[in-house]
Amino acid sequence: MNSSSNINGNTPSVSSTDQIISKWFLFGLLFYFAAHIFLRTVVSSSLESDEAEQVLFTQWLRGSYLSKPPLYTWLQIFFFKMFGTNVFALSFLKNGLLFSTYVFVFASARLLFRNTRLALLAALSLLLIPQISWESQRDLTHSILVTSLSAVSFYVVLRLLESQSRRYYFWLGVSIGLGTLAKYNYAIFIAAVLITMLTYPKGRSALANRRALITLTAVLVIVLPYLLWVTSHFGSVTSSLHDLDIGRRNFFVKGTARLIYVSAMFLGPLCLVYLLMFPRGFVHLLQNQPLHKISFPIQRYFLILFCLLETMILIWQVTYFKDRWMQPLFFIFPLYFFTYVDDIASGRKVRHCFAALTLMAALTILVMIPARIVLGPSLGYYTSFNFPYAALARKISEQCPKPDLIIADDQLDAGNIRLQFPNSLVLASNLKPFHVGGSVAGRCVVVFWDAQRSARMPERLKTFLINEMKIVPDELKVIYEQLPYKYADKQYARVGLALMKSSHRSQCR
Instruction: Tell me the pTM.
Output: 0.92
pLDDT in tens, 334-383: 999 999 998 765 678 898 999 999 999 999 999 999 999 999 998 888 88
Q: For residues 192 and 278, what is the distance between their CA atoms, to the nearest angstrom? A: 28
pLDDT in tens, 434-493: 766 667 777 889 999 999 998 899 999 999 999 988 899 998 999 999 999 999 878 899
Structure confidence at residue 247 (pLDDT): 64
Q: Is the pLDDT confidence value at 239 over 90? A: no
pLDDT in tens, 390-408: 999 999 999 988 999 999 9
Q: Name residues whose C-beta falls within 8 Å of residue 493's C-beta, 6 or more positions apart in sequence.
A: 387, 388, 450, 452, 482, 483, 484, 485
Q: For residues 102 and 36, what is the distance between their CA atoms, to the nearest angstrom? A: 15
CA-wise closest residue to 143 among 185, 194, 99, 88: 185
pLDDT in tens, 30-68: 999 999 999 999 999 999 999 999 999 999 998 888 888
The phi and psi torsions of 477 (rounded to 5 degrees) equal -85, 120
**Total residue count of the chain as it appears in this document:** 509
Structure confidence at residue 502 (pLDDT): 57
Would you call 465 helix, strand, or coil by DSSP? helix
Are the C-beta atoms of 150 and 99 separated by less than 8 Å? no
Structure confidence at residue 14 (pLDDT): 59
Q: Is the pLDDT confidence value at 121 over 90? A: yes
Q: Is the pLDDT confidence value at 12 over 50? A: no
% the chain with pLDDT above 70: 91
Are the C-beta atoms of 47 and 419 separated by less than 8 Å? yes
Q: Name the residue with higher pLDDT: 375 or 503.
A: 375
Amino acid at 17: T
Average pLDDT over residues 203-223: 97
Are the C-beta atoms of 157 and 193 separated by less than 8 Å? yes
Angle of CA points 69, 263, 361, to nearest 5° = 90
The phi and psi torsions of 257 (rounded to 5 degrees) equal -60, -40
Q: Is 407 exposed, middle or buried (0-12, 13-18, 19+ CB in 10 A)?
A: buried
Average pLDDT over residues 68-89: 96
pLDDT in tens, 244-258: 666 667 889 999 999
pLDDT in tens, 260-284: 999 999 999 999 999 999 999 999 9
Q: Is the pLDDT confidence value at 7 over 50? A: no
Eight-class DSSP state of 506: T
Q: For residues 479 and 498, what is the distance between their CA atoms, to the nearest angstrom? A: 6
Structure confidence at residue 170 (pLDDT): 98
Structure confidence at residue 353 (pLDDT): 93
Are the C-beta atoms of 471 and 500 separated by less than 8 Å? yes
Q: For residues 330 and 443, what is the distance between their CA atoms, to the nearest angstrom? A: 51
Q: Name the residue with higher pLDDT: 35 or 2.
A: 35
Structure confidence at residue 10 (pLDDT): 45
Q: For residues 45 and 169, what is the distance between their CA atoms, to the nearest angstrom? A: 42
Mean pLDDT is lowest, of 154-158, 299-303, 322-326, for 322-326
Eight-class DSSP state of 342: -
Give 431's pLDDT tier (boundaries 50, 70, 90): confident
- Mean per-residue pLDDT over the chain, rounded: 90
Give 317's pLDDT tier (boundaries 50, 70, 90): confident
CB neighbours (10 Å) of residue 424? 19
Structure confidence at residue 437 (pLDDT): 62
Q: Is 258 exposed, middle or buried (0-12, 13-18, 19+ CB in 10 A)?
A: middle
Q: Name residues whose C-beta falls within 8 Å of residue 422's C-beta, 6 or more positions apart in sequence.
A: 80, 84, 85
Which DSSP helix (H) or strand (E) runs through 158? helix 142-162
